[in-house]
């Protein structure tokens, strides 16, 4: 892909700021502020053509004024810079509830009306614009999916910078202006996101310009960064690797024009510095990691709102956080104050007779796609191209018979991912919290490196696979990795996040927000589909025997399935070929969150590639070769499994049953696509009751060995006919530092227990098979004792293999971990 790394990165004209330019800035700003306030308060009378009455005011006043004037201020100034430099720019509004400002600005630059035809440039359009905000059937108060130009809702705080960097990766010509609220700056994810600058390649990536907006207060408290000495604040930013520029203004009634001048001059200097860095990067003359500029903008909270309301300070106070005049509909005093406040922006100068903004108010709008609201980068699906995926079948492991060969499933996947990377050198990345090699994807380093722009030592290239540019992004922060990936996907690219299964809970709430974004986006016609968010969770619960109890938690799946069925998919491939087939599918999908849990330890391969494809296509199916059904008859019992270790134990149990109770008709079922268990009325992947019954029967005992917390299987199947016969084994929070087979025994998921479960549940067996039952119990005790004595699993147990030649997939030593 041909890119011109210096396109747009030009120095400014150097011409002094004219009064005309300052007037344009201030007029845009006044208009945007007016439109923001109108959205928060008004149902009608949008241009105050008549005195404001209480019926003009919304019955419920919802919205956030506090952050808005600052957001509008920055938006205006970026417009000026874009006009001057033709700089492809997107805007990330970090503070929560930044909606009114973002909507106002995108209305002024014209995009809003282009997308939403009824919100046109007229009195009527303004009325509709105001009314819809935070109104039933209208739009949210955030920079939501409905907001043109947004890739960051900010419904929850702390991810603006991670998203910004995700957008900048592999977008060498893009400027991502990220306004960071001083409230969100207190969150952990944001506090570490500053370090993203050590992971940006100045040559191949774009530029993030953080604008830390200190408005001094959050909901009910001052903010930390607004209340430390300026020297500390500047040290902090320098410590984060930035060159800080500070602009402070608007206090004590300072004329905004003076603040406009200072900020504009600062922005010019900053963009000139960036242009110089980009030029040096393009010519290879950059000396080490640049100290990228960032701006600290200190303005009053709720700037330009009434100074005092009800005897309390409003402007420059936490009371301006949300709706400063909360009784505008109820008291004449608030109503008059509101009108005075709104008229202070001089709407008659901002809008013409028809209700359209006057040319001076929109003069700063860039042309076409250069408008931040219309930049296709912020509607990533527009730019998204399909990945070039090498044929995963060529990476198949050989499976002469089930279980005869052994693979590390994720290592096999790593070989394919290596070639996915090679085939897609500029739009696919792998993210992970220092665990990509631990999760066995190390083959990718045959074709790429980990991108790293902190200090590079001579040894690093060979020893650490570190380079200034690379396709693997590793920082020990799941938040950062998730945020980067989200930003990368939202701007039209592809990727995956690999993590230890237990610690992906760290991003539970980020997943929530992204899933909700996808859910909302799907309902918005102009938002184009983006690549799915793909998780690869390895080092899973059953192989955290060595890391111990704190590393054992398979509950991310439970968390995920609470979100809309239209958005979430969960896969549990149980060997190398099913993992390949699954992941090939995931990387082709859009607008989903795909959760894939897979093993990384040596484990038996069960299915040939053709079988794996057929099995994964169905998502659920019988492992005929493992069962003992008689054609045309119902089985006596169904042994089902989801997950690699549970499937191993089920197969081992089936093997025992075949040998010891040959008359028993056992059906063995494996579930790769967990959503198949739901009803088709509940999930698009769900099976009809008829299909479900065909697999599980409607009356035979089902012993189900599940990868995670057992009750999830009940939750997914409680409406099924055979649910009363369903008995599930899974992880029940029993674990410690022990061995792999001891882990399954502690949670009663082991083969011996499964045989006991069958004996206990198939009518008549308990009476007949007492000795076998006892034998199984003894085997459990013996295995447990062996482990305690020897510190490893009894090879007589774990050496079992279906085909007689392969390994068991259990009993290996531990490996890297955090």
Binding positions for its own copies, 43-62, rule CB under 8 A:
43, 58-62
Residue 43: CB minimum distance to its own copies, A? 7
Binding positions for its own copies, 83-122, rule CB under 8 A:
96-97
Binding positions for its own copies, 122-181, rule CB under 8 A:
131, 134-142, 144, 153, 155-158
> Pattern 739-758, binding to its own copies, x per CB under 8 A?
x--x----------------
Interface with its own copies (CB under 8 A), residue from 14, 117, 229, 284? 229
Spatial separation of the C-alpha atoms in residues 28 and 361, rounded to whole Å: 5
Q: What is the DSSP letter of 626?
A: G
Measured from the CB atom, is 9 or 696 closer to its own copies? 696
Residue 610: CB minimum distance to its own copies, A? 36
Size, binding site for its own copies by CB under 8 A: 133
Interface with its own copies (CB under 8 A), residue from 464, 589, 608, 803? 464
Measured from the CB atom, is 86 or 520 closer to its own copies? 520
Residue 563: CB minimum distance to its own copies, A? 6
Residue 504: CB minimum distance to its own copies, A? 8
Interface with its own copies (CB under 8 A), residue from 718, 774, 778, 805? 718
Contacts of 176 (CB under 8 A, 6+ apart): 89, 90, 92, 164, 165, 167, 168, 206, 207, 208, 209
- Residue 223 interacts with its own copies (CB under 8 A): yes or no: yes
- Residue 601 interacts with its own copies (CB under 8 A): yes or no: no
Which residue reads 């013409």 in tokens? 352
- Residue 569 interacts with its own copies (CB under 8 A): yes or no: no
- Residue 317 interacts with its own copies (CB under 8 A): yes or no: yes
Segment interacting with its own copies, rule: CB under 8 A, options 77-85, 394-402, 601-609, 787-795: 787-795
- Residue 792 interacts with its own copies (CB under 8 A): yes or no: yes
Interface with its own copies (CB under 8 A), residue from 287, 457, 525, 631? 457
- Residue 519 interacts with its own copies (CB under 8 A): yes or no: yes
Measured from the CB atom, is 43 or 203 closer to its own copies? 43
Buried b (16+ CB within 10 A) or exposed e, 750-777: bbbbbbbbbbebbeebeeebeebbebbe
CA 193 to chain centroid = 15
Measured from the CB atom, is 115 or 728 closer to its own copies? 728
Interface with its own copies (CB under 8 A), residue from 564, 618, 658, 782? 564
Beta-bridge partners for 474? 432
Buried b (16+ CB within 10 A) or exposed e, 422-454: bebeebbbbbbbebbbbbbbbbbbebbbbbbbe
- Residue 505 interacts with its own copies (CB under 8 A): yes or no: yes
Interface with its own copies (CB under 8 A), residue from 221, 283, 634, 774? 221
Residue 752: CB minimum distance to its own copies, A? 17
- Number of neighbouring beta carbons within 10 Å of residue 325: 25
* Paired tokens of 756: 């006991």
Q: What is the largest CA-CA distance in the chain?
A: 98
Binding positions for its own copies, 478-497, rule CB under 8 A:
478-480
Measured from the CB atom, is 6 or 243 closer to its own copies? 243
Local structure of 169: helix, strand or coil: coil
Strand order in the sheet with 293-298: 89-93, 175-181, 207-214, 293-298, 243-248
For the packed helices 19-41 and 99-108, what is the interaxial angle rounded to 10 degrees?
130
Local structure of 55: helix, strand or coil: helix
- By CB atoms closer than 10 A (0-12, 13-18, 19+), residue 122 is middle
- Residue 640 interacts with its own copies (CB under 8 A): yes or no: no
Segment interacting with its own copies, rule: CB under 8 A, options 11-19, 411-419, 511-519, 597-605: 511-519
**Secondary structure (H, E, C), 738-753:** CCHHHHHHHCCCCHHH
Spatial separation of the C-alpha atoms in residues 587 and 573, rounded to whole Å: 15
- Residue 563 interacts with its own copies (CB under 8 A): yes or no: yes
- Number of neighbouring beta carbons within 10 Å of residue 458: 7
> Pattern 352-381, binding to its own copies, x per CB under 8 A?
------------------------------
Alpha helices in 351-504 (DSSP H): 359-362, 409-423, 460-464, 478-490
- Angle at the Cα of 593 (from 590 to 598), degrees rounded to 5? 115
Segment interacting with its own copies, rule: CB under 8 A, options 100-108, 204-212, 268-276, 500-508: 500-508
Length of the chain: 818
- Residue 681 interacts with its own copies (CB under 8 A): yes or no: no
- Residue 788 interacts with its own copies (CB under 8 A): yes or no: yes
Spatial separation of the C-alpha atoms in residues 739 and 751, rounded to whole Å: 15
- Residue 715 interacts with its own copies (CB under 8 A): yes or no: yes
Interface with its own copies (CB under 8 A), residue from 283, 394, 736, 774? 736
Measured from the CB atom, is 206 or 244 closer to its own copies? 244
Residue 63: CB minimum distance to its own copies, A? 9
Binding positions for its own copies, 683-712, rule CB under 8 A:
709, 711-712
- Residue 232 interacts with its own copies (CB under 8 A): yes or no: yes
User: On the CB side of 425, how many CA atoms lie within 13 Å of its CA?
Assistant: 9
**Secondary structure (H, E, C), 219-256:** CCCECCHHHCCHHHHHHHHHHCCCEEEEEECCHHHCCH
Is the CB of residue 201 less than 8 Å from the CB of residue 192?
no
Measured from the CB atom, is 122 or 512 closer to its own copies? 512
Segment interacting with its own copies, rule: CB under 8 A, options 23-31, 163-171, 455-463, 641-649: 455-463
């Amino acid at each position: 892909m041909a890119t011109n790394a210096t396109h747009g990165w030009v120095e400014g004209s150097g011409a002094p700021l004219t009064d005309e330019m300052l007037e344009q800035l201030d007029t845009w700003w006044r208009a945007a502020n007016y439109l923001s306030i109108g959205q928060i308060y008004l149902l009608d009378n949008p241009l105050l053509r008549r005195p404001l009455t209480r019926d003009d005011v919304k019955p419920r006043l919802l919205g956030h004024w506090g952050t808005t004037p600052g957001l509008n201020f920055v938006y205006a100034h970026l417009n000026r810079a874009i006009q001057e430099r033709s700089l492809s720019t997107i805007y990330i509004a970090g503070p929560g509830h930044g909606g009114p400002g973002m909507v106002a600005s995108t209305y002024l630059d014209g995009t809003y009306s282009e997308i939403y035809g009824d919100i046109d440039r007229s009195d009527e359009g303004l009325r509709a614009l105001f009314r819809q905000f935070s109104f039933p059937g209208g739009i949210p108060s955030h920079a939501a999916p409905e907001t043109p130009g947004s890739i960051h809702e900010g419904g929850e705080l702390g991810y603006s910078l991670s998203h910004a960097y995700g957008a900048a990766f592999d977008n060498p010509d893009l400027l991502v202006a990220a306004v960071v609220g001083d409230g969100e700056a207190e969150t952990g994810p944001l506090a570490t996101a500053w370090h993203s600058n050590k992971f940006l390649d100045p040559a191949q990536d774009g530029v993030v310009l953080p604008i830390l907006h200190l408005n001094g207060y959050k909901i009910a408290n001052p903010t930390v960064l607004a209340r430390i000495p300026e020297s500390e604040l500047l040290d902090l930013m320098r410590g984060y690797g930035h060159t800080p520029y500070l602009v402070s203004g608007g206090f004590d009634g300072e004329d905004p024009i003076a603040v406009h001048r200072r900020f504009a001059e600062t922005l010019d200097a900053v963009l000139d510095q960036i242009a110089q860095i980009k030029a040096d990067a393009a010519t290879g003359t950059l000396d080490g990691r640049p100290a990228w500029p960032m701006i600290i903008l200190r303005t009053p909270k709720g700037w330009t709102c009434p100074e005092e309301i009800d005897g309390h300070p409003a402007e420059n106070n936490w009371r301006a956080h949300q709706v400063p005049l909360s009784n505008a509909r109820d008291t004449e005093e608030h109503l008059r104050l509101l009108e005075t406040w709104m008229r202070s922006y001089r709407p008659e100068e901002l809008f013409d007779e028809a209700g359209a903004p006057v040319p001076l108010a929109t003069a700063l709008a860039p042309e076409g796609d250069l408008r931040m609201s219309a930049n296709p980068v912020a509607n990533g699906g527009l730019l998204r191209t399909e990945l070039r995926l090498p044929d995963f079948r060529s990476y198949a492991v050989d499976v002469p018979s089930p279980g005869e060969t052994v693979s590390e499933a994720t290592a096999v996947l790593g070989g394919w991912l290596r070639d996915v990377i090679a085939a897609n050198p500029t739009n696919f990345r792998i993210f992970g919290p220092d665990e990509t090699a631990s999760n066995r994807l190390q083959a990718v380093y045959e074709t790429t490196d980990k991108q790293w722009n902190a200090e590079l030592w001579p040894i690093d290239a060979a020893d650490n696979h570190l380079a200034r540019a690379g396709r693997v992004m590793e920082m020990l922060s799941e938040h950062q990795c998730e945020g980067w990936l989200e930003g990368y996907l939202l701007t039209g690219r592809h990727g995956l996040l690999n993590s230890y299964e237990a610690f992906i809970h760290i991003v539970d709430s980020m997943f929530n927000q992204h899933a909700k974004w996808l859910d909302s986006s799907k309902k918005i016609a102009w938002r184009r589909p983006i690549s799915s968010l793909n998780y690869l969770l390895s080092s899973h619960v059953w192989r955290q025997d060595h890391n111990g109890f704190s590393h054992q938690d398979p509950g991310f799946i439970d968390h995920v399935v609470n979100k809309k069925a239209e958005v979430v998919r969960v896969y549990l491939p149980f060997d190398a070929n099913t993992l390949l087939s699954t992941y090939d599918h995931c990387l082709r999908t859009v607008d989903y969150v795909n959760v894939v849990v897979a093993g990384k330890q040596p484990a038996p391969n069960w299915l040939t590639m053709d079988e794996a494809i057929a099995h994964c296509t169905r998502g659920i199916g019988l492992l005929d070769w493992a069962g003992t059904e008689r054609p045309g008859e119902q089985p006596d019992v169904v042994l089902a499994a989801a997950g690699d270790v549970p499937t191993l134990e089920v197969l081992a149990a089936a093997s025992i049953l075949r040998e010891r109770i040959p008359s028993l008709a056992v059906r063995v079922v494996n579930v790769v696509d967990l959503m198949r268990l739901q009803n088709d009325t509940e999930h698009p992947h769900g099976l009809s009751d008829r299909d479900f019954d065909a697999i599980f029967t409607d009356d035979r005992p089902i012993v189900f060995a599940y990868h995670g917390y057992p009750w999830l299987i009940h939750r997914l199947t409680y409406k099924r006919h055979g649910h009363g016969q369903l008995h599930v084994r899974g992880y029940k929070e029993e674990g410690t530092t022990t061995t792999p087979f001891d882990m399954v025994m502690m949670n009663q998921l082991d083969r011996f227990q499964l045989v006991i479960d069958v004996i206990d549940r198939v009518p008549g067996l308990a009476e007949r098979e007492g000795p076998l039952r006892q034998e199984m119990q003894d085997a459990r005790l013996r295995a447990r004792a062996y482990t305690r004595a020897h510190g490893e699993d009894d090879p007589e147990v774990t050496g079992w293999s279906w085909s007689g030649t392969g390994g068991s997939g259990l009993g290996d030593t531990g490996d890297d971990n955090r």
